[in-house]
Structure 1
Amino acid sequence: MGNAREFDGGVAMAERYYSVERVAELLGLHVKTVRGYVRDGRLRATRIGRQYRIAAEDLEAFTGRPATTPARGGPHAETSAIVRIDGIGREAVIRLANTVIAAAGSRPRDGGTLRVETVYDEERASLKVIVLGDLDGTAELLKIIDLLVDEEP
């Protein structure tokens, strides 16, 4: 079909679209998490009937990396981690979050990508740090988080 690209499900379209299930598989997330990102507006999607479809361009904007399936030639591993830190004040959250996000962003481009998000519940004094990315990078970032938490009074 000329310049048409594959639709996630076999139908040819002008762009590549992914189902919510496929995006969850590619990112190593639960389907409900991806649906939540769509509902919250953090991940752009088009509703077709009763299902969402995510354009490759929107997935790339969300992840900061090309929306491609890993090469079938060898194994490829990624991870997601959620770190919950209880009993942490607002100032400590700001310091920790800024440091962790800066550490994730300063990695060399050929070392894989990391995506970091933080969610703070001030009422419960609880911080969640969500890390998505390659195994080595995530492990390094978890060590940094551990050191920062140990430094807090």
Structure 2
Amino acid sequence: MSAAQQYYTVEQIADLLDLHVKTVRGYVRDGRLPATRVGRQYRISREDLEAFTGTPVAPASTPRGPRADVSSIVQVDGADRHTADRLANAVMATVLGRHGGTGADAGGRLRVETVFDEDRNSLKFVVLGDLDTTADLLKVLDALIGGTQ
């Protein structure tokens, strides 16, 4: 597929521009981002995306071999609401700092969700990401939890 014939899904555009999918759909519906409807989905051409952003779009990279991801759940028992909020905020700040920062690890893939069960005083972190970024976050989490004991 040549660069002139490359099309993106709304989800891919959202990922490339670090926007929410609903925001990109809104741009398409408003006519600010031209798109072609294919069935029930939109496709955006590379040229239209470049015109929308005003900058050239780097071609999508092809995988260079095996890629490993981590899915893990960290359960913290005995955490009251205050401790759970403090830990969750610290972890989320770490995640946002990595994705919003300019350091070498800013490009790592990482997603974190938290669940607090007040009846059991239990906090769970659901961590999904690449190996290095997840390992770094788990080290931070270990240090944070060690400070609560």
- The TM-score normalised by the length of structure 2 is 0.54
Structure with bigger gyration radius: 2
2:68 to 77, 83, 88: 77
Residues 70 and 76 in structure 1, CA contact (< 8 A), matched pair in contact too: no
Aligned to 1:103: 94
Q: CA deviation at 1:72?
A: 3.4
1:124 to 115, 120, 124: 120
1:113 to 93, 96, 109: 109
Q: CA deviation at 1:76?
A: 1.7
Aligned to 1:148: 144
Q: CA deviation at 1:73?
A: 2.4
Q: Aligned partners of 1:145, 1:95: CA distance in 2, in Å?
A: 12
Residues 105 and 114 in structure 1, CA contact (< 8 A), matched pair in contact too: no
Structure 1 regions of 5+ residues with no counterpart?
A: 6-14, 19-42, 45-52, 57-68
Structure 2 residue identity aligned to 1:119: V
Which structure shows the bigger proportion of residues in helix conformation?
Answer: 2
Structure 2 regions of 5+ residues with no counterpart?
A: 12-20, 23-39, 44-59
Residues 97 and 118 in structure 1, CA contact (< 8 A), matched pair in contact too: yes
Structure 2 residue identity aligned to 1:125: N
Aligned positions of 1:60-75 closer than 5 A:
71-75=62-66
Structure having greater relative contact order (Cα 8 Å, sep ≥ 6): 2
SS in 1 for 2:64: coil
Q: Which aligned runs of 4 or more in structure 1 are off by greater than 4 angstroms?
A: 15-18, 53-56
> Would you say how many aligned residue pairs link Structure 1 and Structure 2?
103
Task: Tell me how large the CA RMSD over aligned residues is.
Answer: 3.5
SS in 2 for 1:117: strand
